[in-house]
Amino acid sequence: MEKSLFYRQTWVEIDLSAVGRNYRTLKKALPEGTKMMVAVKANAYGHGIVEVSRKLVACGADYLGVACLDEALTLRKNLIHVPILNLGAFLKSDAAALIDNDVTATVTDYPMALELNKVAGALKKKAKIHVKIDTGMGRLGVWHSEADDFILKLCALPHLSIEGLYTHFPSADTDEAFTRSQITMFCALVTKLEIKGVKIPLKHSANTMALVGYKDAHFNLVRPGLAIYGLHPTEALIGKVDLAPVLSFKTRIVYLKNVAKGRSISYGRTHITKNDTVIATLPVGYGDGYNRLLSNKGRVLVNGEFCPVVGVVCMDQTMIDVGHLKSVRLEDEVVLAGTQKDKIIRIEELAHLCHTIPYEVVCWISPRVPRVYIDKE
């Protein structure tokens, strides 16, 4: 969307050239021939599933990963034809749409595999599947020690094509010993299957953290998410991995008020001015994804200087103290996350202040905030 096509004074800028740069950075870290599946679920982590996916396809992404069938159908309707894996579970009512739209299904139990096989047979097609293995996530998946027998049963279903086998790490950023035990379990399963004559083409387990930190988890397909968007799963990686931030969250000053010492700001009167100052009102709030937990803690950039958030963040508005600035005017651009002049506010900083993870911060940003796409490549 171009900036001239909307009236809101709050928007997000998505730098697609940074997506391309991050993709190439991660690709260079892989052994030759290793494929890459990029997670574009949750509207590409709030960045825009269609636009980001088109960029990734142009960069050579082998696969896209989504969380549900609707996300996959959005991509197909926008003429994105690369392989798509539905990482989530599916129901009987989804089977025909999965097969008709050439969406690869995740299989985790035999009754759903039977249903997929039956529908594929009726359509005179083969359903492509990846089998999810539970090595300790405790979510979707067949327990690893039972998976070889399960997969042998799947091999007997004539209308299924087992294209991939995968697992997921719950704590690659915090528990190396457990993660390595998962890798061992997964490798043992692959070996057992091969001894029994079952060779599954694609094996994958590496999310962003495992791609960076566990080379023995790469197998022949990796599936990064967060790093593609220039974000880090742990603050310890900032500066150690050459990632370019993709998303900037911006707004403008819409009101300026001279405020005397001792006056209260916003709901609950949680901020009382300590001096005569100037308070600027921004047309952004928790209804846009600027979290209420940033009340009296967050900071923004105005004219290249940090300005504190004062008072409680409202649904549609946030107040900042600009009394220390040499010059400030209506419509001055304000950076909530991103770079202005030589200073930066990282998404990771907002996550830290809100006691959460970067994934959640970018997913918070509401659909009512327009996305503006920039691509300098």
Catalytic residue among 41, 55, 203, 250: 41
C-beta atoms surrounding 122 within 10 Å: 12
Q: Has 199 been annotated as catalytic?
A: no
* Distance in angstroms (rounded) separating the CA atoms of residues 138 and 136: 5
Q: Is 267 a catalytic residue?
A: yes
Residue-level length of the chain: 377
Cβ atoms of residues 313 and 286 within 8 Å: yes
* One-letter-per-residue 3-state SS of 211-265: HHHCHHHCCCEECCCHHHHCCCCCHHHECCECCCCCEEEEEECCEEEEECCCCEE
Which are the contacts of 287, defined by CB distance < 8 A and separation ≥ 6?
Answer: 315, 316, 366, 368
**Cα separation, 289 vs 99, whole angstroms:** 36
Residue found under tokens 């091969």: 194
- Tokens describing residue 99: 């097969």
* Phi, psi (deg, nearest 5) at residue 194: -65, -35
Helix axes 49-59, 16-28, angle to 10 degrees: 50
Q: Which of 110, 240, 255, 267 is catalytic?
A: 267
Please state the residue numbers annotated as binding site for substrate. Answer: 139, 315
Q: Which residues does the annotation place in the binding site?
A: 139, 315
Find, among 271, 278, 285, the residue nearest to 256 by Cα. 278
* Backbone φ, ψ for residue 27 (5° rounding): -60, -40
Active-site positions read 41, 267
